[in-house]
Amino acid sequence: MNGAADGPVAEGSGGSLPRASAAARSNTAPGRITDGAPLVGRRDALLAFNQALDASGAPAFQFLVLIGEPGAGKTRLLGELTRQAAGRELTTLVGRAAEFEQELPFGVVVDALDDQVESSLAGLAERLGAETSALLGTVLPALRTPGQDRETGPRSDQADRTGQTGPGSDLTSRLRVYRAMRRLLEDLASQDGLVLILDDLHWADSASVELLDHLVRHPPRGRVLIAIAYRPAQASPRLAALLGSAGAHGSEVSVGPLNLTEAQELLGPKMSRSRCQTLHETSGGNPFYLEALARMEQQDRPAQGSSDDGELPPDVLTALRLELSGLSKASQRVAQGAAVVALEFEPTLVAVAAEMDEGEAREALNDLTARDIVRPASAGRLQFRHPLVRRAAYDCAAPAWLLGAHARVAAHLAEVGAPATLRAHHVERSAPFGDQAATATLITAARDTAAQAPATAAHWLEVALRIMPVTSPGPNESPDEIPDRQLELLLEIAKLRAVSGQLIEGREAALEALRRLPPADYAKRALAARFCALMERQLDRPAEARSVLLGELRRIPDPQSAAAVPLRVRLIAESLMRGDIPAAQAVLDLMPERSDSLPPSITLAIAALRPLPAFALGRIDAAARFIEAAGQLVAVAPDDDLADWLDAIAWLCWTETVMGRYASALAHFDRAIAIARRTGQGYIISNLLAGQAQVLIMFGRLEEASWAAEEAAEVARMLGSGHQLVFALAQQCLAASWSGEDQVAVRLGEDAVRTGENNGEWSGTHAHYALAVALINAGRREAGRSAMAEVCGGSNRPRLDRRSFLRACEVMAGLEADTGNPADADRWADRAARVSYPGQEATARLARAHATREAEPKAAAAAATEAAQLFDSTGQVIDAGRARLCAGQSHAAAGDKDQARVELAAAARTFAECGARSLQAATAHQARKAGVRVGARGRAKGSGSPPPFGLTRRELEVVRLVGEGYSNQQMAESLHLSPRTIETHLSHIFAKLNVTSRTGILKVFSERD
């Protein structure tokens, strides 16, 4: 038939985790996705399939989306795509999401991939590497090693010192899993290409959708086509946005109703035209409804379909239930037991659910198979003919019986040692209030999945909270300990909802904790209020955040008490975020610099917040003194103290950055990021990564900066935090701009400006600055001049922070000098001189060099050379190169070609090493204009040939260490890079050499030698 409707499939059965359901190449299992009947109509879909398959063979990643209402025929069309892909000898993997197991993380992905991975184990781990295989083992059972669980982050059963209990839900660990998944797809596609088909994604768990979102924005390399299908009315916003994220790689097929002619073709010549027309009108052209109604009319078995009671006509549901009612009592009970287990199931577990002898259950299953209620699947399993049949069987069972069946399955899985994550689905549906064992199972399952699927973990904790018993305390417990346990769970739920991007739910959980806490429990209320304010801030609701903090402060009788201080510290951070420096300073003035009565973490937080207000108010010496004092405290503080107040530490890092203390800032950013990952404080990771990216740009480590900024944006999107996304996009824009990726940089800058429009905060202003820089670097000088002048405030007060304003003045001085406007260049240089401050003198000197380059070239050369030396002293590599470029231009203007050649060659070398391609090209242009030669790629002539295969020198170093057998971690230590950067270099090397493993790298270089 044309329109086998769409529905859930099993994600697991028995005591095992979900299994993949597809085979490779011509051995794909189209029976899983279509009944093989002739296809009616759908020429547009078939054309789209051919185009997508052709494009993926280019090779170019393709993303194909099928959308349509239940019964429209999406599943049938995916079966056609399966056959077309098999005809091209492409590896084709199929998975389907399940309605009843939406809490199981990565269910649809495991369904598609696990069998194929298991059959490819030989050599797979070697090709992927141990680290990638271990990450994949947290998701795919086939790669799980003995004793390995699903948790990728550290666990702690004790409340951390922020009052947030449970394991850290490390957002970046999920990103590492997603990158490992992308690497796996590239490996599976390396031989013949890969088609990954995922059906019924409107039922997919949030982790699977998040993975797809990552893949479409960071496509796998090679011949990879991902095709998905879902119902638009039931799709989550993130799922519906996938096509837009795919850009030029994506295409959509809308699977609509059949027209009358197609309906007649589907129903066949025995159906009269008038009856066809009636059925067509009744069904609305929906293929499944059409055929189901026709079969019902003929008193035949109803068509396959899927939906819940609210989506299908009553006649269709009645037909399915009538079909099941014709079974024997034993077969009915077994069908219902199988529906409890999964769409795809093992007979043993069905017997447990049905409370029958296994022999009787198998006999009943044979009857169900003969009646086409169930069909053979893979590896000794059976499956329902279609998800709707399972839904009908489940709905036909008595509610009390279902409770018992789920309880029996949960108990059996516990007996055979199945993980809590597999049992939680059944425990949730059967546990009575007060069941302590069930509560423990749900909490364990939540903590095992928190790092990768925090939304699922939060759901299970919410169920645990609902059934958690309130009993008498144990022998070593206080009378209040049970309620405390509930409040701890509530705060953990708030944290998980927040890090999963469900900030509203996180805020509501924190507010609920405030409602439950006694009015006089000031300390715990302060913790809950602080967390609530954090969520309000992430939701871009600064007024509400401030209101929560002030409301709790008014409750506390003594404003100087230990409970009040954390709220005041959070108020300082809120004031800094919205740029209200006087308000922040006013609160700080009430705080002692040191107090033995305060916890060390609070003392540290206050010290970390002091420098920025002092700097912003022009008290530069005081700011420097505060930075020194805070740095000393941070150096000796244990990680736990820093973990309590990472948002305050972030402000210290930013202040060190604006004051030119880049090495210290980067060290503190690195430490804070590591702590945030370890403790699962996802709300702050984006902010820290964006700051890290900014410093890395200063150091000329553009590739690492781009990686950090990209990760910052990814985390901000996961959180749904607008202001964090704005700043992350701005750093991505700047990294891309200085790397010479002009179109990408402008697009990112425009995205940042659009996202931060009218947010009234520093991040929005910085987005305008980043876009202006990108426009100027891209050669769109008029647009860039206008944008930069606007953000600099014209004759009014600058909208930028002092450091950014100083840099903007220097950029504008250079722009005006390049376009022949020396008077304007001089005015910008004057403004730079007026706002310059210790630690940033080099920027003002470079601005003056731009302004005097034509009129006084010798003085300009001297100023630019001095600026380059100052930039060198603080590690600002790109700015040092730009200063040497200016010095070279000035020497050329003064007629000193020898010195011009020296400065321009040094600038070219700097830009080549950084990967600043546009600046490198600009340097070569200036050298030609001045009539001097600087050698290829900025190297002096005779300095050696470039690395082979288009590799960079850093990538060549990595290749050398690969040959010496270094691990990723050893390479990172040897080259003073992060393991993440090593992974990036290796992926680039694989692409340039067209290999998929370290062995391939060695083979290529062996053949070359």
Look at 117-131, 166-180, 935-949 and tell me which has the smallest mean pLDDT: 935-949
What pairs with residue 344 in β-bridges? 383
What letter would DSSP give residue 83? Answer: H
What pLDDT digit, counting tens, does each position of 326-374 carry? 889 999 999 999 999 988 899 999 999 999 999 999 999 999 988 888 9
The set of long-range contacts for 558-561, using a CB threshold of 8 Å and a minimum separation of 24, is: 560/590, 561/522
Write the DSSP assignment of 676-737 as a string of letters. HHHHT-HHHHHHHHHHHHHHHHHTT-HHHHHHHHHHHHHHHHHHT-HHHHHHHHHHHHHHHH
The pTM score is 0.71
pLDDT at 147: 58
Q: Among candidates 795, 830, 791, 794, which has minimal Cα distance to 810?
A: 830
pLDDT band at 464 (very low <50, low <70, confident <90, very high): very high
What letter would DSSP give residue 356? Answer: -
Question: What is d(CA 416, CA 413) in angstroms, rounded to the nearest whole number?
Answer: 5
User: Between the CA of residue 192 and those of 24, 48, 117, 123, what are the distances in Å?
Assistant: 10, 21, 15, 17
Phi, psi of 197 (to 5 degrees): -115, 125
The structure tokens listed for 594 are: 């040191």
- Report the Cα 269 to chain-centroid distance in Å: 53
Question: Is residue 102 scored above 80 in pLDDT?
Answer: no
User: What element of type H or E holds 294?
Assistant: helix 287-297
What pLDDT digit, counting tens, does each position of 104-132 carry? 889 899 999 988 888 888 788 888 888 89
pLDDT at 798: 63
Between the CA atoms of 889, 893, 897 and 898, what dihedral angle is there, to the nearest 10 degrees?
A: -60
Section 216-233 average pLDDT: 91
The widest CA-to-CA distance across the chain, in whole angstroms, is: 102
Pairing of strands 194-199, 224-230: parallel
Section 905-921 average pLDDT: 90
Residue 787 CB: number of other CB atoms within 10 A? 22
Q: Among candidates 387, 388, 380, 385, which has minimal Cα distance to 362?
A: 380
Q: Among candidates 497, 475, 471, 498, which has minimal Cα distance to 485?
A: 471
Question: What is d(CA 506, CA 703) in angstroms, rounded to the nearest whole number?
Answer: 34
Conformational region of residue 24, where left means phi above 0, alpha means psi within -120 to 50, and beta covers everything else: beta
Question: Is residue 882 scored above 70 in pLDDT?
Answer: yes
Burial class for 241, CB neighbours closer than 10 Å (0-12, 13-18, 19+):
middle
What is the 3-class SS of 635-678, one letter each residue?
HHCCHHHHHHCHHHHHHHHHHHHHCCCHHHHHHHHHHHHHHHHH
Q: Among candidates 880, 933, 939, 931, which has minimal Cα distance to 908?
A: 939
Residue 767 CB: number of other CB atoms within 10 A? 28
What pLDDT digit, counting tens, does each position of 647-659 carry? 899 999 999 999 9
Query: What is the chain's mean pLDDT, rounded?
Result: 82
- For helices 682-698 and 662-679, the axis angle rounded to 10 degrees is 150
pLDDT band at 7 (very low <50, low <70, confident <90, very high): very low
pLDDT at 415: 92
The structure tokens listed for 114 are: 């696990």
- Peptide bond before residue 220 is cis, with ω within 30 degrees of 0: no
Burial class for 978, CB neighbours closer than 10 Å (0-12, 13-18, 19+):
middle
pLDDT band at 698 (very low <50, low <70, confident <90, very high): very high
Q: Among candidates 316, 91, 321, 125, which has minimal Cα distance to 223?
A: 91
Question: Is residue 64 scored above 70 in pLDDT?
Answer: yes
User: What element of type H or E holds 226?
Assistant: strand 224-230
- Where do runs of H (alpha helix) occur along 344-396? 347-354, 358-370, 387-396
Q: How many residues are present in the chain? A: 1009
Section 813-828 average pLDDT: 92
Strand order in the sheet with 91-96: 91-96, 194-199, 224-230, 62-67, 250-254
pLDDT at 487: 82
Write the DSSP assignment of 525-559 as a string of letters. HHHHHHHHHHHHHHTT-HHHHHHHHHHHHHH-S-T
In percent, the amount of the chain with pLDDT more than 90 equals 38
Q: Which residue has the higher pLDDT, 547 or 761?
A: 547
Residue 794 CB: number of other CB atoms within 10 A? 9
User: Between the CA of residue 517 and those of 498, 514, 548, what are the distances in Å?
Assistant: 21, 5, 15
Return all residues near 545 (Cβ < 8 A) that are at least 6 apart: 532, 533, 534, 536, 537, 574
The structure tokens listed for 323 are: 């079909």
Phi, psi of 91 (to 5 degrees): -65, 125
Section 878-892 average pLDDT: 94
Look at 181-195, 607-621, 788-802 and tell me which has the smallest mean pLDDT: 788-802
574-578, 750-754, 762-766, 987-991, range with greatest mean pLDDT: 750-754
What pLDDT digit, counting tens, does each position of 418-450 carry? 999 889 999 999 999 988 899 999 999 998 888
The structure tokens listed for 144 are: 């799980």
500-514, 666-680, 952-966, range with greatest mean pLDDT: 666-680
pLDDT at 171: 67
Phi, psi of 194 (to 5 degrees): -140, 135
Place of tokens 């597809």: 22
